[in-house]
Amino acid sequence: MTVNSDRSDVVLDIERLRTRIETPRGVVHPVNDVSLQCRRGRTLAVVGESGSGKSMTFMSVLGLLPAGGTIESGTVRYQDREIDPTDKKAARQLRGKAIGIIFQDALAGLNPSFTVGQQIADVVRHHEGVSRAKAKEKAIETLGLVGIPNPRERADYYPHQLSGGMRQRVMIAMGVALRPQVLVADEPTTALDVTVQAQIMELLDGLRRELGMSLVIITHDLGVVARYAEEVAVMYGGRVVEHGEARQVLKNTVHPYTEALLRSSPRPDADVGELSPIPGQPPNLLAVPSGCSFHPRCHRANGRPECSRDIPLLRSLSPESQLTACHHAEEMALQKVSK
Amino acid sequence: MVAETVEPTTAAPYIAGDEAVLRVENLTKHFVKKRLGRPTTAVKAVSDVSFDLAPGETLGLVGESGCGKTTLSRLILRLIEPTSGRVIVEGKDVTRLSKRQLREFRQRVQVVFQDPYASLDPRQRVAASVAEPLTNSKLSSDEKLRIVHETLERMGLQRAQARLFPHQFSGGQRQRIGIARALSVTPKVLLLDEPVSALDVSIQAQVLKLLQELRDEYRLSYILISHDLSVVRHVSDRVMVMYLGRVVEMAPKEELYTAPRHPYTASLLSAAPVPDPDVERTRERIQLLGDPPNPASPPPGCAFHRRCFQAELVAQKLGDSEVTVLEDGRRVPRTCAEKQPVLVTQDATKHWSACHFPLSREAVATVTA
């Protein structure tokens, strides 16, 4: 099931991906039957809480699963070529060159004992096998691309000589040094101040346009989704529960979890009155609730038997482009209309 | 540039008078960096901060990292000594307390930390953690256990869970335990340092709601430190904005969010994304340039003038003699580059700001609409 049947601009196609991780306490499936498409020049946001599988989906694709993790089923296609992320060599080829990734903690991603220019140049040399001088030039060019002033001089700085926002820019430079087709940003702004957050998001958005990349933002911030994403997939307990055009999903929600998320967060621009918290905890992957994994926390489930019995399939509701995995989505949509 | 000295402000944004549960007067903290044993530079972490806290009030404190929020909270808790200024809790000057008296004070002002994973001792049972602030009370262990049980139950946990260890709880539950620990000594003031930032969105709302209920039940006053402007708006009565160690604006919540006077506040508000695509994609944003300046070498004049959009706008209407040209060629009013603005109120309201050219209501509408 896909949001958009036009496949001409799909760069990365993840289909029915299921990942398993063997932990000392049992087997978990952090990614369960997930299908997502990344399109050229477009932004996809993947939203969810911890344990929802939002990061694990892309870690699986990039062959970066923790020890004991494997892909159980599903396919990953990059530009119409099927790839096997469990093949270490293929995955390494894919990382950086085809798919760039930016992690949350900018300081942890940089080596303190090398200059930032050298670290970017290493990436270039490893993948493109060019001379040191050429790699350095490319590094400087990329630092300029991500908006670092005086890139030639800054390339010789060590990470500790740069501010938090600048380090995050260096991380982004490493992610785009090879001009990938897809850029995955995993919580790119979570640890940053609002003002720096805005700068970083504007930068990522600009790079997407300039380089024609497909941008994937993994986030929990619905404000970021509202501003930057064209398409959004909401994940819960390892599955996509709602998927569609960002405006539709935020304004015309047809899954109770998305609805509850929106109702439980305060807004910076308005007084929301009383918050309606979602009761309980995000699901424990070792003991995922039966049926719909959201049912113990869902105000619409209300003891209805199908919710705790059958896993709801992701299906389309009119408008065609919006998908939901809720037994009672029609009811939700109708209530919205009558309101 | 001649170093200017700034007199401590005489007028300050106090609202509670004698009622104040907490009053901070001209509080200043300079950290002196030593190289080869000799003091070289002073980092002015907090400069001349004054405010008070009314009973039952929640004061939000916002600002970017490095603005002095954390130093200010450590000064209020008297975990570090101020360079000058006073902290007065329920009429008592705590900056001059002896060790013994300090113990008593510690029961009046408690703190809840950001990271519920780091703030509880992993080898201590929850009951022991929650009872820890009661160590100096003369209560019997039975009484202490009763308080622990009652407080935990109020936080939505079960009595039996007092015997468990922190790792057996989720993040949200741990934060509840942290709050229970702070409340076991029935304090007057709770300092909440990023209390929900480490929690999942769905859990944040549970904890925020609990905090609001507890404030009324326990007759508490809160100081809420957060970088999340939505959370601050939801919980606070008044909001204080800090920039580079100074208070730049302070106002009742509604005022501050709808009619900010300091361009920095306006920039912060404009940077916070709104979860509504129709609003978010049509509004103009003020892009703040660069990072906050280094507190060890703050720019002269108004610390914000190099990032300020308002300064540029004002300079357009000024003659060359009244304008300073910055290294990057931008023009700002000479006053902004040379004179430190003082925190003042223009119309005897509760709205204070420290800007030479504060924004008018109309100006705010054009930059944030």
Q: How confident is the model at residue B369 (pLDDT cuts 50, 70, 90)?
A: very low
Pick the CATH number of A10-98+181-338 from 3.40.50.300, 3.40.50.2000, 1.10.10.10, 3.60.20.30: 3.40.50.300
Question: Percent of chain B beyond pLDDT 70?
Answer: 95
- With an 8 Å Cβ cutoff, are B202 and A260 in contact? yes
Residue B3, pLDDT score: 42
Instruction: Please indicate whether, in this complex, the C-beta atoms of A194 and B277 are within 8 angstroms of each other.
Output: no
Q: Where are the domains of chain B?
A: 17-257, 259-368
Q: Is it true that domain B17-257 has CATH number 3.60.10.10?
A: no
d(CA B310, CA B55): 36
pLDDT of residue B350: 86
pLDDT at B1 over 60: no
- pLDDT-based confidence at residue B4 (cuts at 50, 70, 90): very low
Comma-separated ranges of CATH 3.40.50.300 domains in chain A: 10-98+181-338
Chain B partners of A264 at a C-beta cutoff of 8 Å? 201-202, 204-205
* Contact at CB, A265 and B275, closer than 8 angstroms: yes
Confidence (pLDDT) at B2 = 41
Return the higher-pLDDT residue of B289 and B124.
Answer: B124
What pLDDT does B365 receive?
66
Overall average pLDDT of the B143-154 stretch: 95
Asked if B67 and B248 count as a contact pair (C-beta separation under 8 A), the reply is: no
Predicted pLDDT at B5: 47
A84 to chain B nearest CA, in Å?
Answer: 33
Rounded mean pLDDT, A229-252? 95
Instruction: Reply yes or no on whether the pLDDT at A157 is more than 80.
Output: yes
Query: What's the gap between Cα A283 and its chain centre?
Result: 19
What is the mean pLDDT of the segment spanning A69-77?
Answer: 93
What region does A180 belong to: left with phi over 0, alpha with psi -120 to 50, or beta? beta
pLDDT, tens only, A264-277: 989 999 888 888 89
pLDDT of residue B367: 57
pLDDT of residue B166: 93
Show residues of chain A in contact with B288, CB under 8 Å: 195, 198-199
| ipTM of the complex, rounded to two decimals | 0.86
- Measured CA to CA, the distance from residue B292 to residue B266 in angstroms comes to 15
Q: Find out whether B39 and B32 touch, Cβ atoms under 8 Å.
A: yes
- Confidence band of A321 (pLDDT split at 50, 70, 90): confident
CA distance A270 to chain B (A): 8
Q: What Cα–Cα distance (Å) separates residue B144 from each residue in B130, B155, B179?
A: 9, 17, 16
> What does the CA dihedral A208, A210, A212, A215 come to, rounded to 10 degrees?
-10
Render pLDDT for B154-209 as a digit per residue (tens, 0 to 9). Answer: 999 999 999 999 999 988 999 999 999 999 999 999 999 999 988 888 899 999 99
For the stretch B116-145, pLDDT in tens is 788 899 999 999 999 999 988 888 999 999
- Whole-angstrom CA distances from A133 to A136, A149, A283 are 5, 21, 51
Helix (H, G, I), strand (E, B) or coil at B123: coil
Judged against a pLDDT cut of 70, whether residue A66 lies above it is answered with yes
Q: Output the CA–CA distances (angstroms, integers) from residue B190 to A49, B76, B113, in the order listed.
A: 28, 11, 11
Mean pLDDT across B97-107 = 86
Give mean pLDDT, residues B100-113: 89
Task: Kindly state the percentage of chain B with pLDDT values over 90.
Answer: 66
Which residues of chain A lie closer than 8 angstroms to B365, CB-CB?
none
Residue of A nearest to B276 (CA): A226
Quick one: CA torsion of B249, B252, B256, B258, rounded to 10 degrees? -160
- What pLDDT score was predicted for residue B287? 78
A chain contacts of residue B277, beta-carbon cutoff 8 Å: 226-227, 246-247, 250-251
Q: How far is B231 from chain A (nearest CA, A)?
A: 6
What's the mean per-residue pLDDT of chain A? Answer: 91
Residues 279-298 of B with CB under 8 A from A: 279-281, 285, 287-288, 291-292
**Is B281 in contact with A222 (Cβ distance < 8 A)?**
no
* B165–chain A nearest CA distance, Å: 18
Q: Show residues of chain A in contact with B281, CB under 8 Å.
A: 226-227
pLDDT tens-digit map of A181-190: 999 999 887 7
- pLDDT band of B215, cuts 50, 70, 90: very high
Partner-chain contact A266 B208, CB within 8 Å: yes
Closest-CA residue of chain A to B368: A269
Cα A116 from Cα B31, distance rounded (Å): 30
A22 pLDDT more than 50: yes
**Residues of A in Cβ contact (< 8 Å) with B286:** none
Q: Verify whether the Cβ–Cβ distance B234 to A275 is below 8 Å.
A: yes
**What is the pLDDT, as a whole number, of residue B9?**
52
pTM comes to 0.90
Give the residue with greater pLDDT, A264 vs A91. A264
Element of type H or E holding B111: strand B109-112
State the pLDDT at residue B368.
53
Amino acid sitting at position B204 = Q
Closest CA–CA distance from residue B233 to any residue of chain A (Å): 6
Q: Do B202 and A264 touch (CB under 8 A)?
A: yes
B7 pLDDT above the threshold of 80: no
The torsion of the CA quartet B241, B176, B119, B44, rounded to 10 degrees, works out to 10
